[in-house]
Structure 1
Amino acid sequence: MTIKNGFWRRFCRNKGAVIGLAVLVIATLVALIGPWLAPNDPWDMVERPFLSPMGGPGMLLGTDTLGRDILSGVIHGTRVSLLIGLVSTVVSLLIGVSLGAMSGYFGGWIDAALMRFTELFQAIPSFALAIVLVAVFEPSLGSIIAAISLVSWPPVARLVRGEFLTLRQRDFVAAALLAGQSTPRIILTQILPNAISPIIVMGSLMIASAILLESSLSFLGLGDPNAMSWGYMVGSARTVLLQAWWMAVFPGLAIVLTVLAFNLVGEGLNDGLNARADGRTK
């Protein structure tokens, strides 16, 4: 209980993190129940095109080039963006943590081989690789998640490797070896729990990066054609920015606020999980 209270005390000292958490709570609620509360289907042409915000009954954010409701698009896009960000981050963490743990724990030729494999992925610009992967396969939520996951795991592997290289020298690992614990048990129950804090912080920042990457792919026309996303909405507005600014501004604001919120929460998690923050703030 003391550890939990200490975490929340340190987290709440960061006012930006508290605001970011509030924004993410609202975004999560919109993703969960918003589609049922949206005034219209995001693909339906419900009004005349280029209707300005508040320019018609129920059209709070206006309409796009085809007369589709911008508000409904933003609401439905919340679910798509958060889903892609969360799932791709989880997959990236599973890959990165697994490879980094094996590399840092075993060392030697295993470490060298896994790090060369990691550097192979880092040598290719992540955005360019994601474009190629999505373009090779048919653009869909699955291919986008797979592409983002494959370009996002190398930093995680390097972080976890560094943590394991340090922690495997600790006395509690030597005690576990003397007690006859198996290697998987030592990794999962002894070392990984002590390395989890920086992984959690990195995971929160990776979600923000994944949302940005998905938005960039959708902006280029490589998003799922059957899923309304913020990137798709911004991309569809690029040719009419002067004529209908609201088509890009509102989904763009949704992207900025969500990404900023995840970054702020990441900073708060770093403070909350770092007990030394108490000493710095006294």
Structure 2
Amino acid sequence: MSILRKLSTNKVALFGLIVLVFLVLVAIFGPYLYETSPWKMVNRPFLPPMENTDLMLGTDTMGRDVLAGLVYGARISLLVGLISTMIALLIGVPLGATAGYFGGWIDEALMRFTEIFQTVPSFALAIVIVAIFEPSVYSITIAIALVSWPPVARLVRGEFLALRNQEYVLAARLNGQTNRNIILREILPNTLSPIIVMASLMVATAILLESALSFLGLGDPEIMSWGYMIGAARTVIRQAWWLSFFPGVAIAITVLALNLVGEGLNEALNPKLSGKRES
């Protein structure tokens, strides 16, 4: 049974997947279908939602279309989440695999290095990194990646520790395969399930981190994102509630969809959970 077929039997996960696909389509095709620039002043500032049929969600502090900001911001918010997660995986997976496979002093050294990043709260560390390199979409993405990889490294290390003495790994060693081949071809494929599940949840966390940084005034002022919209509206929440409400709802829906898909993937890829559901 394929992963998609298993997900289709989980109505909650299927709902999350449909919502996520819709958001991805909006991010890809939305700017071409809704051509109003999110930076263009189209009406008076603080125009309430539904007051003008051409501006369904109203305007912001500069008279810009809020709906245009949501459509264009979807691409940046999702890209920040995806790219930061990919960078975190590129850092965490090799470190965790090396530590778990070789053990000994290599494991001790790499885990102590990992703990250095975990001694400081991830959000506080992200703030420091963004402040040092000046707020931009690049510094935000790098900051989120640097605070996200330690859990990945620990997860992969634990999986490698559990699998490195399995019979198929010992057989590969007896056949004279190199450590590199054993890691990449024998053990790593068997650890992909928990990594995929964690990655889906990491994207949601990254989107939340980006919005939190923007709310504190550390967002990229030159690129429209949901986090930037919330950050720009933080001083006028009482005067214009919709400026932070609509991007906040967009973030909440995206995070919820990613979490539902993550739970569905965990159930589909974990034989024990799948067996419990089928029984």
Q: Which of 193, 204, 208 lines up with 1:208 in the alignment? A: 204
Q: Does 2:156 match 1:167? A: no
Letter in 2 for 1:234: I
Counterpart of 1:66 in structure 2 is 62
Deviations 1:60-118 (A, max 9, x none): 10001110000000011100000000000001011110000000000000000000000
In structure 2, C-alpha distance between the alignment counterparts of 1:40 and 1:53, rounded to whole Å: 17
Deviations 1:181-211 (A, max 9, x none): 1111100000000111000000000000000
Q: Does 2:105 match 1:109? A: yes
For 1:68-147, what aligned pairs fall within 5 Å after superposition? 68-147=64-143
Deviation of residue 269 (structure 1)? 0.2
Q: Which of 171, 180, 184 lines up with 1:184 in the alignment? A: 180
Q: Structure 1 unaligned segments of length 5 or more: list them.
A: none
Counterpart of 1:150 in structure 2 is 146
In structure 1, C-alpha distance between the alignment counterparts of 2:223 and 2:241, rounded to whole Å: 22
Q: Does 2:190 match 1:194? A: yes
In structure 2, C-alpha distance between the alignment counterparts of 1:264 and 1:57, rounded to whole Å: 34
Counterpart of 1:249 in structure 2 is 245
Q: Structure 2 unaligned segments of length 5 or more: list them.
A: none
2:197, 2:262 within 8 Å by CA — same for their partners in 1? yes
1:84, 1:211 within 8 Å by CA — same for their partners in 2? yes
Alpha carbon RMSD of aligned pairs, Å? 1.1
In structure 1, C-alpha distance between the alignment counterparts of 2:265 and 2:239, rounded to whole Å: 42
Deviations 1:228-263 (A, max 9, x none): 111111122222222211111110000000011100
Counterpart of 2:269 in structure 1 is 273
Which runs of structure 1 show a deviation greater than 4 angstroms over 4 or more consecutive aligned residues? none
Number of positions where the alignment pairs a residue of Structure 1 with one of Structure 2: 278
Q: Does 2:14 match 1:52? A: no
In structure 2, C-alpha distance between the alignment counterparts of 1:102 and 1:262, rounded to whole Å: 29
Compute the TM-score of the two structures, normalised by the length of structure 1.
0.96
1:12, 1:268 within 8 Å by CA — same for their partners in 2? no
**Identity across matched positions, percent:** 64
Q: Greater CA deviation, 72-81 or 225-234? A: 225-234
Deviation of residue 275 (structure 1)? 2.0
2:45, 2:64 within 8 Å by CA — same for their partners in 1? yes
| 2:246 aligned counterpart, secondary structure | helix
2:55, 2:65 within 8 Å by CA — same for their partners in 1? yes
Q: Does 2:204 match 1:229? A: no
In structure 1, C-alpha distance between the alignment counterparts of 2:250 and 2:126, rounded to whole Å: 23
| 1:86 aligned counterpart, secondary structure | helix
Letter in 2 for 1:25: V
